[in-house]
Amino acid sequence: MISLAALVLAVAAATTPASGAPGEVPQRLVVGVTHTPPFVVQEGPERWSGQAIDLWRNLADELDLDYKLEPRDITSLLRGLEDGSLDAAVAAITVTAEREQRFDFTHPFYTTGLAIAVAHRPPETWFDGFISVFTFSFLRLLLTFAALQLLIGALMWLIERGKNPQFPGPPGPGVLAGLWWAVVTMATVGYGDKVPITVPGRLLAMLWMLASLIILTSATAAITSQLTLGQLEARVRGPEDLGKLRVGTVLRSTSETYLRDMKLDYRGFSDLTLGLAAIESGELDAIVFDRPLLVDAIALAHKDTLELLPRSFQRQDYALALPTGSPLREPINQILARDLATLQDP
């Protein structure tokens, strides 16, 4: 016969949940964190600060939670929520549909968007416009025109010499006269002080007039296109201009997902600092990433060399991440719903 004491122990064991069972909050939470200033800032081996850290500490105090912070990179941070090695994750974690299938999110505590960081460009002056016109390509074009006009002028002198007093016989004055005629004809000025009188000379004149129209039109279009392209490259206004730039972003981020979905070529970096350094060195034209993280990184180490475009795009909602079915979600959401107005500056 089973004793009364044994029966009591059996009932107690059957009615008392085991530590760590589903639906039960562990006695000591393991909270994953990753360095994402200004939300999570690692100041030392076990010293953490930042907006998200302050939020978590306030939540833990109100819910009387015991916890330890465990640093991880973003990949192992999210993986830890799936495999159960983490009870929560605190960082600038964007809520996405794909992530929602893998683990749970609390209510968002911060709403922002993606932004574009580019090299700082000082205001243009009149001298910048002057330099943009007188480039090596422009000077090479002028030399090509001069050589072509000299060739046509010399050919006209060879045809007209001895028959037309407007083109003297000696090579020096004769070629100069032919060059003068070729230049004013190409410029469509046509002073009429020098006119070919022979049939071959007039045929050459007609061909040169027609060729001059084509040459000048093509040259003008090429110069205008080059100047316009330079202005467009210097004036990146938003995501619609990313297709003509050398773009970078942080690997395994929502900004990488955005660039991939938009079918844009990009270069991935393991760390935001590496991407910003690539802009400074001229390897990249722009970095696409979360606006608050770019703002903090530029202000910290790149304020004189990089700048952030004013437009934001592709909304990003930051939330605390929890394992699927975590009993912490509802009490945390109640507190966040109560304090939502004070979590983010207007």
Nearest 5°: the CA angle 247, 221, 234 is 30
CA distances to 13, 34, 58, 84 from 332, in Å: 30, 20, 10, 19
Distance (Å, whole) CA 6 – CA 12: 10
pLDDT tens digits, the chain, 346 residues: what are they? 334 343 333 333 333 333 344 567 788 999 999 999 999 999 988 899 999 999 999 999 999 999 999 999 999 999 999 999 999 999 999 999 999 999 999 999 999 999 999 998 765 555 555 555 566 777 787 788 889 889 998 999 899 888 888 888 888 888 898 888 888 888 777 677 788 889 998 899 899 888 888 887 877 776 666 555 555 444 678 899 899 889 999 999 999 999 999 999 999 999 999 999 999 999 999 999 999 999 999 999 999 999 999 999 999 999 999 999 999 999 999 999 988 766 655 4
Report the pLDDT value the prediction gives residue 232, as an integer from 0 to 100.
47
d(CA 194, CA 191): 8
Q: What is the token pair recorded at 161?
A: 């010499």
Q: What is the pTM of this model?
A: 0.64
Q: Which domains does the chain have, with CATH numbers?
A: 25-109+319-343 (3.40.190.10), 118-125+238-315 (3.40.190.10), 126-234 (1.10.287.70)
For residues 346 and 343, give the distance between their C-alpha atoms in angstroms, rounded to a whole number. Answer: 10
Q: Are strands 247-250 and 286-290 parallel, antiparallel or unpaired?
A: parallel
